[in-house]
Amino acid sequence: MKWTVKEIEEKLETIHHQDDPLYQQFAADERKGVQKALKRWIHKQEEMNKKHERFMDMTVYEQKYHNQGFKLIAGIDEVGRGPLAGPVVAAAVILPEDFYLPGIDDSKKLSENLRERFFLEIQEKAEAIGIGIIDNDEIDKINIFEAAKKAMLEAIQQLEPKPDFLLIDAVKLHTPYPFDAIIKGDSLSVSIAAASIIAKVTRDRMMKDYEKRYPQYGFARNAGYGTKEHLESIAAHGITPIHRKTFAPVKDYIGS
C-alpha cells in the first residue's frame, strides 16, 4: 500500500517513538513531502520532551513533601502588587499527585490563550481551589505587602479539603500549616505555577470588567499597570474609584 503524504501526516499524530515500525517505513520514503512531515514530527517530539522534562523538574518540591508523608499540598501565589488600580488577587491550589500538564509555568511566561486553557484544565483537575481578593481601598489602608499576605490567607481558608502543607511563592505567612516559602516558586513548583495561573486569569477578567465601566483607562490591556496610555488617561480624566490612592503617581493627581 502506498500512503499519501496527507495520510502519513495524520498517521504520524498517533506515533510517539522513532522505533515504531510505521515510522521506520515512513523514514524510508524519499518523497519531499514525507521527509518534511517527518522533520515536523521530530521537532514536535523534541518540544514535547522538553516540556515533559521541565514539568518533572517543577514537581521536585511536591515529591519531596509527598515523600515526607504530606498528602494535600497547596501551592499559593498572588498577582497584582504593582498595578496602580484594581485588587490584589491570590490563589491556593491543591493538585492531585498524578496531575500532569506539560507546558505549565509561571503565568507571566505564558500567552493569554495558554493561560486561559490551563486555567480551565487546572479547575477541572484540581482537588481544591481557593481565591482571595483584596480591593484597592483595603490596599490603601494596610499597604500592598500586607494586602498580598491577607489575600493569600483568604485563599488558603477557602480550600476544601484543607491542606496539610503549603508551597508559597516567596512570602512567609502566619499560618497553622507547615510551609516552604520558595523564591521564584512560580517557576519552580507546579502547584505554585497553577496558583499563579488561577490568580492571574481571575484578576485579568476582573480588569476586563472594569474596562467596561471605565473604558478610557485601557484596563483590559494594561491590567491597571502604569503604562503610558494609563498615565495619560489619569492626567486627562482623573482617577477612578478602583485606583490605589497611596500609590505614586496616582496620589499626585488627587485633588488636581
Nearest-angstrom CA–CA distance, 218 and 136? 17
CB 167 within 8 A of CB 70: no
Residues β-bridged to residue 180 = 167
- Report, in angstroms and rounded to the nearest whole number, the Rg of the chain calculated over CA atoms: 23
Any binding-site annotation on 232? no
Nearest-angstrom CA–CA distance, 159 and 163? 7
Any binding-site annotation on 77? yes
| The residue to which cell 522538553 is assigned | 50
Q: How many helices (H) and strands (E) does the chain have?
A: 12, 5
- Give me the amino acid identity at 48: M
Q: DSSP state, 73? A: E
Hey, what's the cell of 148? 498580598
Any binding-site annotation on 169? yes
Tell me the binding residues for a divalent metal cation: 77-78, 169
Tell me the binding residues: 77-78, 169
